[in-house]
Amino acid sequence: MRQYVSPMPEGDTIHRTAAALRRALLERPLTRVELPRIPLPHPAIGATIARIEARGKHLLVHASDGLVVHTHQRMTGAWHLYRPRERWRKSPRAARVVLGVEGGGGGAGVVAVCFAAPVVAVLAAEDLARHPTLRRLGPDLCDPQVDLDAAAERLGRFSPPDRTIGEALLDQRIACGVGNVYRSDVLFLHGLAPDTPVAAVSKHQRRAVLATASDLLRANLDGGDRTTVDGAPAGSLWVYGRGGEPCRRCGTPILRSVLGEQARSVYHCPACQRRAAA
Ligand SMILES: [Zn+2]
């Protein structure tokens, strides 16, 4: 069966994973539930999978007995789907969640395995609204109905004066979905250097940046290689991962730098993207 792996989960990856898990698991009774080292209760054998949600980069698998398996993949985690006796592509020791169901995969059943996710928990459905991380998430940019005005307002509210737009775009309290790839390419499309202070970005442009992020995320929900360059071959990105290569617009070599406390890579064209003063 197809493998769902991403070394760099962005919101679109989690939505694709959720769609694949829905096709395999939804409304089917659980035949196998393993959550090593996670305290009881766990979803019960025989309970059905009632709903699978992506909220930003969080994945929530709701069982019919009211329990919810919550995972966040960060940089290391991945969900795979297997037939019951198929050999796993990663060590079983790295499995954090194993959910087997009847009936999928041509009737033989399906096993969904989440490997190496740093965040795994079982929550009661009624506790979701109080969850310290989940309840703070901003609007999900993968959602076609996303409230961009609300997201733009949060961009101002959650950004202290010296915060850069490059850091703010990764803050999932402002809006969910943007990871390292999209933040670089979205800022390129708006001609903004990643270290531009949020305070120097107009309200109109803040909303426009978030609208572009939402457009790119939604254009990549169907699978295939992540693409941000309209009309270019699949997998073409404007600047992300292209350090030293020529800018697709002006030919200037793309620069890689690090930004923020987590020192994550950001790419930009020093000619096309300027740092506006606050
Ligand atoms: Zn350029």
Is 10 among the catalytic positions? yes
- Enumerate domains of the chain plus CATH numbers: 3-136 (3.20.190.10), 148-268 (1.10.8.50)
**In angstroms, what is the span from residue 192 Cα to ligand 1's centroid?**
11
191 Cα: distance to centroid of ligand 1 (angstroms): 9
Among 5-19, 74-88, 134-148, which is the least confidently predicted range?
5-19
Cβ within 8 Å of residue 101, ≥6 positions away: 24, 25, 28, 29, 30, 31, 49, 109, 110, 112
**Cα separation, 36 vs 130, whole angstroms:** 25
Mean pLDDT of 191-208: 96
Note whether 83 and 53 are within 8 A (CB). Answer: no
Average pLDDT over residues 195-216: 96
Q: Which residue has the higher pLDDT, 106 or 232?
A: 232
- The question of whether 34 is a catalytic residue gets the answer no
Report the distance separating Cα 255 and Cα 240, nearest Å.
10
Q: State whether residue 63 is helix, strand or coil.
A: strand
Quote the pLDDT of residue 89: 95
How far, in Å, from the CA of 252 to the mean position of ligand 1?
5
* Cis peptide bond prior to 41, omega within 30° of 0: yes
pLDDT of residue 95: 96
Cα 242 to averaged position of ligand 1 atoms, centre (Å): 12
Task: Give the pLDDT of residue 274.
Answer: 87
Ligand 1 centroid to residue 193 C-alpha, Å: 11
Residues by chain with Cβ below 5 Å of ion ligand 1:
247, 249-250, 252, 269, 271-272
Predicted local distance difference test score (pLDDT) of residue 142: 93
Kindly report the average pLDDT of the chain as a whole number.
91
Query: Which residue in 43, 57, 167, 197 is the catalytic one?
Result: 57
pLDDT of the residue at 272: 97
Ligand 1 centroid to Cα of residue 272, in Å, is 4
Q: Could you tell me the distance, in angstroms and rounded to a whole number, from the CA of residue 266 to the centre of ligand 1?
A: 15
What amino acid is encoded at 263 in this protein?
Answer: A
168-176 mean pLDDT: 94
